[in-house]
Structure 1
Amino acid sequence: MMHQYSVDYDRKTVYFLLAFVSILGTKIVNKILVLENIELTITGLTIFGLLFLLFDKFLWKIRLLYYLGLVKTPNLNGVWKGQLKSSYDDFKDEIDACIQIKQTWTKIIIFGKFNQSKSYSISANLETNNGARVVLRYVFKNKNNLANTPKTMMNHSGITTLEFEENDAEGKYYNEPPQNKNYGILLLNKEEKKKKRIKIWKKPSKN
């Protein structure tokens, strides 16, 4: 289940603009309803709720809003794959790592999949540092795969810090003792979405 995340900038400007548009939209919609002799009144809260829902899920991703400075939250949605090295074996072996991020303007969840375990986030903080760099910190719960996991590994929680630069991410994770005292590093790349090929039916030629 997605959870809220904190950011290092003020979101009040967006809320103010949504409220302003809601007031104008409410007046316009109600005037149209009167002209059409429809006995129905739309409240400002209804318009605001619909606008916020659209903005939270879709509109915040529009790049123009970034250029205008209205939105500073980076869109980290996607699958990030790479390698993990752990202090468990003195950073000798590379382990396949897959991080999936699902994000809206106000909520996020981060899933992790590794060869011996899976994890999910329970809280997160996103730092934009005024455009200098993007850092995501989150607390996770890790559940092991009992069929493939050494006896020394138990279900545990921990903290991950990832720094993003375009389609690359690197960071560190720290497991919470006493369940697990290991820590490690992550090197990830964003997986590109495969474009769906549209098959065009061609009428067979007559020989």
Structure 2
Amino acid sequence: MHAYAAESRVPVLGVLASIAVVIAIVTNRVLEECQFEYGWLVSAPTVGGAFAILLAVFDKWVWRWRWLHAIKAISTPVIEGKYEGTLRSTWDGAPEAKVRVLVEQRWLRILVRFEVLESETSKSKSVTAAVYGLGHQDASLTYTYSNRIRPGFADDDMSDHDGMADVTIDQLGRLEGRYFNARGRQGTLALQRR
């Protein structure tokens, strides 16, 4: 997985840091009440440790909570899932291909995998990405990818290449958009969340 662009995360990080400071203060007070002499030694690492734990939990689970999206505390759309459908290339004579897009997503990281289902000649994975809400519960996903062929399975004219996809995911789970690549090929994608 890799980092991706989304709405500003600074306000949420500030809240998590504030909570971490409160946890450190409470921990220090408890240690003082227990007459632990070296509480000062624990307080600084407690802030860092509490922040790391809070961020890990938020990154994996909390940011998905619908009520946080409803009150606009989080605006990064949750688009994780498996999508299947078709790819239509503008390349002369290219048949419509059945494809699968797998999106693994956390609050801070994402990975988009792309597979042509019938031929298995190559696989792609994202290198960079941006995810934004478009209103009406639609999301925009723009990503660059690196495609690696399977030697011996791919057509002779096919080679490793890079490309870009720009898609919209609607509230019904339809993923639609377009792609182009460094081989001079382009086309459209129409998939449905499974």
How many Å apart are 1:32 and its aligned residue? 2.4
SS of equivalent to 1:128: strand
- Count of paired positions: 185
1:182-197 residue pairs with structure 2 within 5 A?
A: 182-191=185-194
TM-score for the superposition, normalised by structure 1: 0.82
How many Å apart are 1:181 and its aligned residue? 1.1
1:104 is the counterpart of 2:106 = yes
How many Å apart are 1:173 and its aligned residue? 0.7
Distance in 2 of aligned mates of 1:37 and 1:190: 57
Match of 1:175 in 2: 181
Distance in 2 of aligned mates of 1:112 and 1:36: 56
Shift in alpha-carbon separation, 1:147–1:29, aligned structure 2, 3 A:
same
Distance in 1 of aligned mates of 2:106 and 2:136: 19
RMSD after superposition = 1.8
Distance in 1 of aligned mates of 2:26 and 2:126: 42
Q: 2:162 pairs with 157, 161, 164, which one? A: 157
> Which structure has the greater CA radius of gyration?
1
SS of equivalent to 2:5: strand
Alpha-carbon displacement from aligned partner over 1:2-48 (angstroms, at most 9, x marks no partner): 111112x3222111211221121111222223334555524322211
TM-score for the superposition, normalised by structure 2: 0.87
Identity score, percent? 25
Match of 2:142 in 1: 137
Q: Which runs of 5+ in 1 are unaligned?
A: 192-207
Distance in 2 of aligned mates of 1:126 and 1:82: 21
Alpha-carbon displacement from aligned partner over 1:92-117 (angstroms, at most 9, x marks no partner): x2211111111111111111111321
SS of equivalent to 1:6: coil
Question: Aligned AA for 2:151?
Answer: L
